[in-house]
Amino acid sequence: MSGEPSIAFIGVGSNLGDRLANVESAVWALHGSDGIAVEDVSGIYETMPWGGVDQDPYLNAVVKVLTRLSASALLTECQATEAAFGRERDREQRWGPRVLDLDVLLYDDAQIDTPDLVVPHPRLAERAFVLVPLIEVFPGGQLPDGRRLTRCLADLAPIEGIDLFVRMEETPGRQRRARPAGPSGPAAVPADQWVRPQGAPPGTER
């Protein structure tokens, strides 16, 4: 592809196995993919599950990426990364637990509606656990229809069950930042040491 890369935002979530390792490793996996560069990463938030299925809390984050992939190719790469972490879409319950969930939330100002991909994500404006980290990496952002993200979040008030869990110490495209006081977890793996997994990483076996 020629010209300027597209800007996309990808939601990252996990509530199976080592949730923090899953989220952090997924960020580096995306950054290591051909045609994708992670430019910014939100804090990682612990959130209550959405959709009425009894399951453990999630860790959720949003990454801002620059990509020369089309939206459909970006989705394909996200699904390949999910599969590398052990996700089996054809065997899982809708809105049930996930070892890794990667959703294309926004892609430039495009509005896409195909059998495989809908952008903006069709339930983005209904999910505070997506809007909170999205606003962090897309301040002043709005949806292609002109709705401001902050307005969407305000419409969901009161906001409950979304707590900052940790911030990645080392992220692509961002200088090192200290973790806030609170729970600690393994530091993110430096990019030059990260190897894309061929199967589920340790601790995520079902």
Question: What pLDDT score does 194 carry?
Answer: 34
Question: What pLDDT score does 133 carry?
Answer: 94
Question: What pLDDT score does 160 carry?
Answer: 87
| One-character DSSP codes across 18-61 | SHHHHHHHHHHHHHTSTTEEEEEE--EEEE--SSS---PPEEEE
Query: Which one is catalytic: 18, 19, 87, 127?
Result: 87
Query: Which one is catalytic: 18, 101, 127, 167?
Result: 101
Question: What pLDDT score does 93 carry?
Answer: 56
pLDDT, mean of residues 4-24: 91
Q: How confident is the model at residue 32 (pLDDT cuts 50, 70, 90)?
A: confident
3-state helix, strand, coil in the chain (%, to 5): 25, 25, 50
CA 117/CA 72 separation, integer angstroms: 7
Does residue 199 sit within a domain?
no
For residue 103, indicate whether it is catalytic: yes
pLDDT, mean of residues 135-154: 94
Does residue 193 sit within a domain?
no
Give 168-193 pLDDT, tens digit per residue: 776 665 543 333 333 333 333 333 33
* Domain count for the chain: 1
Question: What pLDDT score does 170 carry?
Answer: 64
Residue 108, pLDDT above cutoff 70: yes
Does residue 159 sit within a domain?
yes
For residue 98, indicate whether it is catalytic: yes
Whole domain around residue 85: which residue ranges?
6-168
For residue 87, indicate whether it is catalytic: yes
Query: For all residues of the chain together, what is the average pLDDT?
Result: 79
Does residue 175 sit within a domain?
no
Residue 143, pLDDT above cutoff 50: yes
Which of 173, 193, 176 lies closest to 65, judged by CA?
173
Does residue 100 sit within a domain?
yes
Give 82-98 pLDDT, tens digit per residue: 888 886 666 655 656 78
CA 127/CA 58 separation, integer angstroms: 13
CATH number of 69's domain: 3.30.70.560
Does residue 202 sit within a domain?
no
Question: What pLDDT score does 180 carry?
Answer: 34
Q: Which of 28-37, 42-51, 71-80 has the highest mean pLDDT?
A: 71-80
Does residue 190 sit within a domain?
no
Question: What pLDDT score does 54 carry?
Answer: 65
Does residue 27 sit within a domain?
yes
How many CA atoms lie within 13 Å of 188's alpha carbon, on the beta-carbon side?
27
Query: Which one is catalytic: 103, 123, 145, 177?
Result: 103
